[in-house]
Structure 1
Amino acid sequence: MQTRRRKTTAVRARGAPRRRLASLPQRPAIRIPVERILAERRWIAALVTAGGIPPSDREDVMQAVIMAAWRAVEEGRYRPDAAVDPRRALRGWLHSIVWRTVGHHRNRAWVRREIPVADPWSAQQEPPRVDERVIEARERLLAVRVALSRLKQLDQEVLALCAVGHDIRAIARTLGMPSSTAVRQIGRARRKLRILLRR
């Protein structure tokens, strides 16, 4: 029984050059002064805090983010969209650097350390100082403000009314919606806020 070999023109001949897809035009690189990156230090600190970095390591992670961003600018890898607001474009670019740096930091072996002691029940963690608690509270508050700024206007209004102690009926009356709708809106706004704070 003879077999007939199937012919096809879709198979690329061995050694033939590959077809390259037309690449999109690349935006020009922009050199910005390091002061523009340092001006976003508090915003970077809020993202680092939201990333779950402990207070003892936050300063090191922030320095790593700033150095990585400045190195990328020097190497011509900062190519923002000219149609976007300059500060918004810079923050969007820094956002990816922060989360990449936070992820690398949390996955390092020396971060996941354990300190063996002879008597584990006798080991007590040193209580944080008052100034450390104040700094941590401020950074956490800034992280909440950053997360709230990313919510829609209606979600912000709902959470603000809940924060000042209004009940469901008062919130529904203020926003002009049924009480059942207000309950669902509050639940959605709280879930969105929790998701943003866990990032």
Structure 2
Amino acid sequence: MAERGIVLATLAGIPKRDRRDVEAEVLLNAWNAIRRGLYRPDPRDKPRDALRKWLHGIAWRLASHYVNSAYVRRAVIHPSPLGLLREPVGIDLHAQIEAREVLDAMASLPGWQREALLSVDDPKGLVAHAKRRRMNPSTAASRLRIARKALALLLRRRR
């Protein structure tokens, strides 16, 4: 702790909100390294200078790891995260209209095609859906492909 100044000077580029955490990590890593016997200063250096060089090296490495971490590169700190949105938050009327069109189109499809399209929403997957219906999974996949094409054609005609 007596050489805290060299650590803080090395961590000067780190934002203040995280500087104390990185400083604590530097001191913890230094202490653990000493306990493992990794602190072996050059006998020609003065003891305090050797300790300062060594702490500077640890702080430098941890600061570079902090700056290059994905958390720091991608984090957006904002007091009101929803304030960053430029569009109003709420129900999108255009999406509702499109959803109604798709539902109306699905209602006009034959029952087996509706069932094939709804099988996509099965959490266990298409194979489990096919086994419950006692059909080959390839047949279920083929029916799904046919139903998707029919729905796309129907939507194109309506628009």
Question: What's the TM-score, normalizing by structure 2?
Answer: 0.48
Q: 1 or 2, which has the higher helix percentage? A: 2
Larger radius of gyration: 2
